[in-house]
């Protein structure tokens, strides 16, 4: 198995032989595809048809063309390449029995040393004990030949770094929603005594519906030290996101170091820039310790000062002046993250899909606008229970950006104008039957007076 970007070596076997030998395609299935294509020599057309039918993936086709035939690690079938992890490559896979998609991180043979094996086993055991919706969970681990692997949940979408690079800086609401969830994941780890040590955009995974999870926590260390940590006392992390204390006293890192790195990540998410761009690693480390980054509003003037203050408080050089917990980070970001988190956490209420019972009496006429007031209690309650504001129920053209809230604006009370002609009472009057009733019990003179009064009223 190789990365998606690597060029396959010249094939020692034909595409057909590799496909059949791999077990991905049976001989009978190959014959069917050849008959459909009309040629046994058109590997391109055969591969396209196999991909379209779901028999193989694009990644597998690329590997088969290079003559590679092994796509399994234990009970897991490798279907794609995700990227490079902290200790090895990460592949997309599916369990051969359960059919569950997952991510498989491997420790490659060329990195297999006594020290790396110990570190990898430590990562496996550490991540196995983590269970939070804001942290990538571990499912399984094993060894296939000389390859050690760790199986984690597959998080669809992309990481925050790629998201910003492809779409540009996030809005304040969107960024706050992502970073708040990452903060809750870090708080969970900190409560267990762990320090991530490598918080950065590439280690925050973001799904299409806005969920965010912290990855690579298995590489964390205990902030109170530990004899089983092979990286204790060493500078661990990525230069663009290192805290000053990680650089000066790496043996004394604590949860506050993660908060600084998360602040740098929030800076990047909202500006599209790392705090200290340019220069080598030594230069970046020096600036983290001594300099202040450019004001975020230099790049994005729309950022509010209150929002920028949160970033600044997360990136204080002195840990004692920094925001003191990841939970506090989430709390400080709540004014901007609330809309995003409400959308993400909104429960599905099946009652909203049940048609209402038939009315006991005919509804009032809409001609007079009684039910058009969107601020009425009944209207608001029905809307809140209907789920109509869910992005997933809206046509794509109407979906608001995650974190910005809905653009739907209700008119203020009393702003619904009515046709003046509709204000005239066109319903049958009650005066005529009253007059007839009175005629039975009163003299004719009174009856005539009542009728005249009725006619005068009708002519008005």
- Binding-site residues for ATP: 105
Q: Which residues make up each annotated binding site?
A: 105
426 in catalytic set = no
Say if strands 158-159 and 204-206 run parallel, antiparallel, or are unpaired.
antiparallel
Q: Which of 198, 216, 240, 258 is catalytic?
A: 198
Instruction: Report the catalytic residues.
Output: 198
């Amino acid at each position: 198995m190789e990365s998606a970007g690597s060029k396959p070596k010249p094939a020692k076997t034909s595409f057909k032989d590799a496909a059949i030998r791999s077990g991905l395609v049976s001989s009978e299935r190959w014959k069917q595809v050849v008959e459909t294509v009309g040629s046994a020599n058109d590997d391109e057309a055969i591969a396209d048809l196999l991909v379209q039918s779901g028999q193989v993936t694009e990644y597998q086709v690329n590997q088969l063309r290079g003559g590679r035939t092994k796509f399994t690690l234990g009970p897991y079938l490798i279907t794609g390449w995700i990227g490079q992890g902290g200790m090895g490559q990460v592949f997309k896979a599916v369990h051969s029995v359960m059919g569950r998609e997952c991510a498989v991180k491997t420790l490659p043979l060329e990195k297999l040393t006594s020290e790396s094996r110990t570190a990898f086993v430590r990562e496996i055991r550490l991540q196995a004990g983590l269970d939070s919706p804001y942290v990538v969970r571990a499912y399984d681990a094993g060894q296939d030949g000389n390859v050690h692997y760790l199986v984690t949940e597959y998080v669809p979408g992309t990481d925050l770094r790629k998201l910003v690079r492809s779409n540009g800086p996030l809005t304040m609401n969107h960024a706050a929603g992502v970073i708040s969830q990452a903060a809750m994941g870090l708080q969970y780890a900190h409560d267990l005594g762990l320090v991530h040590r490598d918080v950065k955009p590439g280690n925050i995974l973001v799904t299409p519906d806005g969920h965010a999870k912290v990855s690579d926590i298995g590489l964390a260390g205990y902030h109170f030290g530990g004899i089983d940590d092979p990286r204790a006392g060493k500078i661990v992390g990525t230069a663009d996101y290192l805290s000053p204390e990680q650089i000066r006293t790496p043996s004394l890192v604590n949860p506050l170091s993660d908060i600084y790195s998360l602040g740098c990540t929030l800076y990047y998410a909202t500006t599209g820039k790392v705090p200290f761009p340019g220069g080598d690693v030594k230069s970046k480390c020096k600036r983290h310790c001594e300099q202040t980054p450019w004001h975020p509003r230099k790049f994005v003037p729309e950022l509010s000062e209150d929002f920028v203050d949160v970033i600044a408080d997360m990136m204080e050089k002195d840990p004692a002046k920094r925001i003191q917990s990841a939970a506090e980070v989430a709390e400080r970001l709540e004014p901007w993250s609330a809309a995003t988190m409400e959308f993400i956490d909104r429960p599905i209420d099946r009652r909203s899909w049940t048609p209402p019972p038939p009315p006991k009496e005919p509804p009032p006429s809409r001609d007079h606008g009684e039910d058009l007031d969107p601020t009425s209690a009944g209207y608001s309650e029905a809307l809140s229970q209907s789920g109509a504001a869910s992005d997933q129920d809206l046509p794509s053209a109407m979906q608001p950006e995650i974190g910005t809230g809905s653009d739907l604006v209700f008119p203020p009370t009393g702003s619904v104008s009515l046709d003046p002609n509709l204000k005239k009472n066109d319903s049958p009057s009650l005066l005529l039957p009253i007059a007839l009733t009175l005629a039975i019990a009163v003299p004719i003179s009174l009856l005539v007076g009542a009728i005249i009064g009725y006619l005068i009223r009708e002519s008005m």
